[in-house]
Amino acid sequence: MTPDFDYMAAKAALEWQIELGVDECIGEVPINRYDVKPPKLKLGPTSNLAPISTMPSVPIQESAAGIAAIMAGKCTNLSALRDAMAVFDQCALKKGAKNLVFADGNPNARVMVIGEAPGRDEDAQGVPFVGAAGQLLDKMFAAIGMTRTGQTPQDALYITNVMPWRPPQNRDPELAEIQMMLPFLKRHIALINPDLIVPMGNAACQAVLGRKGITRLRGNWTSAFECPVMPMYHPAALLRDGSKKAGAWADLLSIQARLKE
């Protein structure tokens, strides 16, 4: 075992192979199974079966979320987290995506914006919120003096998504997909350690707060991961329904006021 392929990484790789259906290892020397005779089974007082107490236990296979938790837990910085997500093969969305969409903005920002999933433009460029919804997002936060290019924590934004890969036809992420990637998002939040989290849309609220219903949730301060949380409409929803923009503006002003406290 090489130094950079430690026990936990090897364990995750092995369990991934088991989940794919691998049930036997291939050795360097071929084995003629017809020549291998198993020992004759003995029962009764002279049984050659091992007592139950000494039989090796069969480990329970880790779920995809369990593997994600193992991988995310080993990441001590954003670069390592991005690399871990890039090699995570449990999520089927990865197979249909062009790029991993990790994050954008200043990692020292006080505000962390969490969207749902990349769209076509984001998938093509590998950067979150660069399409029409992203342009509106930039204008919204610029109105309260915050941008993803800000150089200080006070005027900067840090932006990511729940899902790093684009769902086909821009469909909403499924609950199983959100739960699978949640360990990476939790670790992402811990590494950024923001003063305030803004989940945008139902999928982001499901991941951060464990519940949906953005119409009821938006505009109400809550908390998650020991951090204040302000749920907001996704900018794409504002593009579809302009009547929601008044509520979004009120939420932005509330965020601005909270940061000044």
Whichever domain contains 169, its CATH number is 3.40.470.10
Q: Could you identify the residue written with the tokens 């430690």?
A: 6
> What is the CA angle 111-256-223, rounded to 5?
55
Asked if the model's pLDDT at residue 233 lies above 90, the reply is: yes
8 A C-beta contact, residue 181 and residue 68: yes
Q: Which domain holds residue 77?
A: 64-260
Domain membership flag for residue 92: yes
Q: Is the pLDDT of residue 34 over 80?
A: no
Domain-embedded: residue 20: no
Backbone angles phi, psi at 224, to 5 degrees: -160, 145
Q: Are 54 and 161 in contact (CB under 8 A)?
A: no
Answer whether residue 56 shows pLDDT above 60: no
> Above 60 in pLDDT, residue 13?
yes
6 pLDDT tier (thresholds 50, 70, 90): low
pLDDT tens by residue, 142-159: 999 999 999 999 999 999
Q: Is the pLDDT of residue 39 over 70?
A: no
Residue 42 included in any domain: no
**Residue 51 located in a structural domain:** no
In whole angstroms, how large is the CA radius of gyration of the chain? 24
**44 pLDDT higher than 70:** no
246, part of any domain: yes
Q: Which of 231, 93, 101 is nearest to 170 (CA)?
A: 93
Share the mean pLDDT of the chain.
87
118 assigned to some structural domain? yes
CB atoms within 10 A of CB 212: 17
Average pLDDT over residues 53-67: 60
Q: What is the pLDDT of residue 54?
A: 43
In a domain, 68, yes or no: yes
pLDDT above 80 for 40: no
**How many Å apart are CA 18 and CA 14, to the nearest integer?**
6
Task: Provide the pLDDT for residue 55.
Answer: 41
Domain count, the chain: 1
In a domain? residue 33:
no
pLDDT digits (tens, 9 = 90+) for 167-201: 999 999 999 999 999 999 999 999 999 999 999 99
